[in-house]
Amino acid sequence: MIRHTTVHEINEMLETGGECQVIDVREFSEFNSERIADAQLMPLSNFEKHADEIDHSKPVYLMCRSGNRAAQAADKLAARGFTDIHVVKGGMTAWAGADLPVIKGESKIWSLERQVRFTAGLLVLTGAVLGFLVTPYLYILSGFVGAGLVFAAVTDTCGMAMVLAKMPWNQAPIACDTPQSSVK
């Protein structure tokens, strides 16, 4: 069964030593820049590869930036027979907004959301400039990116983010290809 929990509920559970597993399904660069002390990294992009390493006997609390990727991971765990699954509502955004303790990393890599905004903006600008300077047909690039952004908003998924998550700068170093409880 998949339940939703608040950041305050999970924080209280962690403070009192409650038995649970906090799994962060954000990408390595996001996790490395800011995370909860007791969270284990298991990025959604290769979640299936490590999902069997999660203990079935303990409650699983899934965390991401806002809750969407955590909900996707919850569905994958439910399909594998997990029964005590909790999605942390609002994710790290809610956690930081509630001024709960975080570990700040030294990552200079932008968050995935910021990378998407930059890339989309750059593609729109490129399409507009090339459409003006070279041929009006290149305005199609700007329209294509705009349509992709609308699709991303309606479906709450982002193809560009999925592609950017696989870029080398967003990957864990080779030595850290396994779940990241040690990257604290």
Q: Helices 139-155 & 112-133, crossing angle to 10 degrees?
A: 150
Tokens of 36: 């909860």
Residue 12 CA from chain centroid, whole number: 23
Strand stretches in 6-161, DSSP E? 21-24, 34-35, 39-41, 60-63, 85-88, 103-104
Nearest to 33 by CA among 99, 97, 129, 109: 109
Quote the Cα angle for 179-103-77, to 5°: 35
Query: Could you say which of 20, 64, 158, 176 is catalytic?
Result: 64
Residue 42 CA from chain centroid, whole number: 10
Cβ-contact 20, 60 below 8 angstroms:
yes
Is position 64 annotated as part of the catalytic site? yes
Alpha-carbon span 107 to 104, nearest angstrom: 9
Instruction: Enumerate the active-site residues.
Output: 64
